[in-house]
Amino acid sequence: MSADSDSLIAAGAGSGNLSSDDLRRRMRSKLPDRDLRGLTRLDKLEDVYVECSRDRILEDTFAQFMKYHLTEKRLRLKEAEVFFMIGPSGAGKSLAMDRVLRAHPSLQAERRSFGVVRPRISISLSGYVHPRILAEMILDEAGARVGKIGRGDIWYRLPEELLKREVSVVHIDEFSHLIRKGKTPEIEELADAIKGASISRTHPVAFVLSGLPKITRLPIKDE
């Protein structure tokens, strides 16, 4: 480490408002030309997506799910609206589901006089979180600020808060992190919370859950 680097660290140099992408670009700019050319090729490879039969099946299945969600018949409020996207680790579930969500006509963002409205939001989990924290993550992604409220109340308020922001579909990626062995109280609480938000008469919220096959253990359906 150079003396200049030591002095910068000692001084705590940094703008404090730099985005992660800006920081990455700044770091890349210091690389030699050979490495930069290699990174450029990698960037182009990541932009290429090869469609397969799975993608067409996923598109058709999700289109049917959205038709059910958008129907005006109140009978749909008797069953939770949950779309499961499952597959083994490394199968490309996240990217495939993200492409379908981005492409669906009813889920396109709209610019209004007060800002941009997003009919769907997505969050990705990196580990286990309590059902209450999950609700807070959903509301935070939607741009809602509800303050500190009780554990059950936050899920009760979730449909109303999402309606205010015109969010109708919630995608939770890596949902497998929430599914532990057996029917723990947390899993049952989470299932009840998701079902309650999904059949809410205030604003039925459609949930898209992607992850390993074990996520289908979520006891959404009535027994």
Instruction: Determine the pLDDT at residue 51.
Output: 63
pTM value is 0.74
Task: Locate the DSSP E strands across 13-114.
Answer: 82-86, 110-112
Cα(133)–Cα(140) distance, integer angstroms: 10
Contacts of residue 37, defined as CB under 8 A and 6 or more positions apart, other chains included, come to none
Residues sharing a CB contact under 8 Å with residue 214, sequence separation 6 or more, in sequence order: 176, 179
> pLDDT value at position 221?
63
Q: How far apart are CA 153 and CA 132, in angstroms?
A: 9
The pLDDT value recorded for residue 61 is: 93
pLDDT in tens, the chain (223 residues): 455 555 544 445 555 677 787 888 888 888 888 887 877 777 765 555 556 677 889 999 999 999 888 887 655 566 778 999 988 887 788 888 999 999 999 999 898 888 888 999 999 999 888 888 899 999 999 998 776 665 558 999 999 999 999 999 999 999 998 886 555 778 888 899 999 999 898 899 999 999 999 888 888 765 4
* DSSP output for 149-176: --HHHHHHHHHHHHHHTT--EEEEETGG
Report the half-sphere exposure of 217 (CA within 13 A, side-chain side): 18
Whole-number Å distance between alpha carbons of 126 and 219: 22
Q: Which residues pair with 85 in a beta bridge?
A: 210
pLDDT reported for residue 147: 67
Confidence at residue 95, expressed as pLDDT on a 0 to 100 scale: 87
b vs e for 29-47, b when ≥16 Cβ sit within 10 Å of the residue's Cβ? eeeeeeeeeeeeeeeeeee
Gap between the Cα atoms of 59 and 65, Å rounded? 10
